[in-house]
Amino acid sequence: MVKISDCEHKTDSELVALSLKNQDYYYCLMKRYESPLINYIYRLSGMNRMDLEDILQEVFILTYQNLNEYNANFKFSSWIYRIAHNYTISTMRKKTNYNLSISWDEYDLEQLLQSDLNLENNVIQKIDYENLLNLINNLPLKYREVFLLRFVEGKDYQEISDILQKPIGTVGTLINRAKKMLSQKIEMDKQVQKNG
């Protein structure tokens, strides 16, 4: 059995190559991506813990089954996030009574607010966390997914393009529209609170 400590200094590409020869190394990749992927899947879908674990397990199985198809010219993280994204969206579509309801902890929100989201600081500071969560959760899926990948997961435009399989220009447009939509919704909330 491979120890996690044996894998800490290895790159994803090295671990993929080792996993193709010895499946025990795949455990290192799973441990490396377990937490980030479950957080991403949760933020994207808002599903309960049991469903999240089922999705994550399927993502790891699909990833392992297709490991020999991984192209080392791309980041492994982009590839596994794309698999997670596609499987999550597919699962969401299959659920007939799907209802998005996401709660984030304060740490996540502080990180989000400190990211390069170009909303005026005074506007963001005047809106409470719960309202901000509602605004993010109510973004249409195509905007919410790019928003999460960019500002919560910290992915660059190229990685988002690889994950969503959309041109970089489209990714940039979606991010800008998501930011604009959030900014407008925040301003509307601000006006309602001011007049209310």
Q: Which tens digits make up the pLDDT trace of 93-146? A: 887 555 554 444 443 544 444 444 444 444 444 446 667 777 888 889 999 999
Sign of CA dihedral 89, 95, 100, 103: negative
Report the pLDDT value the prediction gives residue 33, as an integer from 0 to 100: 96
Q: Which tens digits make up the pLDDT trace of 64-107? A: 999 999 998 889 999 999 999 999 999 988 875 555 544 444 43
Give me the helix-helix angle, 76-94 and 26-45, nearest 10°: 50
Determine the average pLDDT of the residues in 27-34.
95
Instruction: Report residue 175 CA to chain centroid gap.
Output: 14
Domains and CATH numbers, the chain: 4-94 (1.10.1740.10), 106-195 (1.10.10.10)
Report the pLDDT value the prediction gives residue 65, as an integer from 0 to 100: 96
Asked whether the beta carbons of 193 and 110 are under 8 A apart, the reply is: no
Report the pLDDT value the prediction gives residue 129, as an integer from 0 to 100: 60
Contacts 24+ apart (CB under 8 A), 146-149: 146/171, 146/174, 146/175, 146/178, 147/175, 147/178, 147/179, 147/182, 148/40, 148/43, 148/44, 149/40, 149/81
Q: Which tens digits make up the pLDDT trace of 148-190? A: 899 888 899 999 999 999 999 999 999 999 989 988 888 887 7
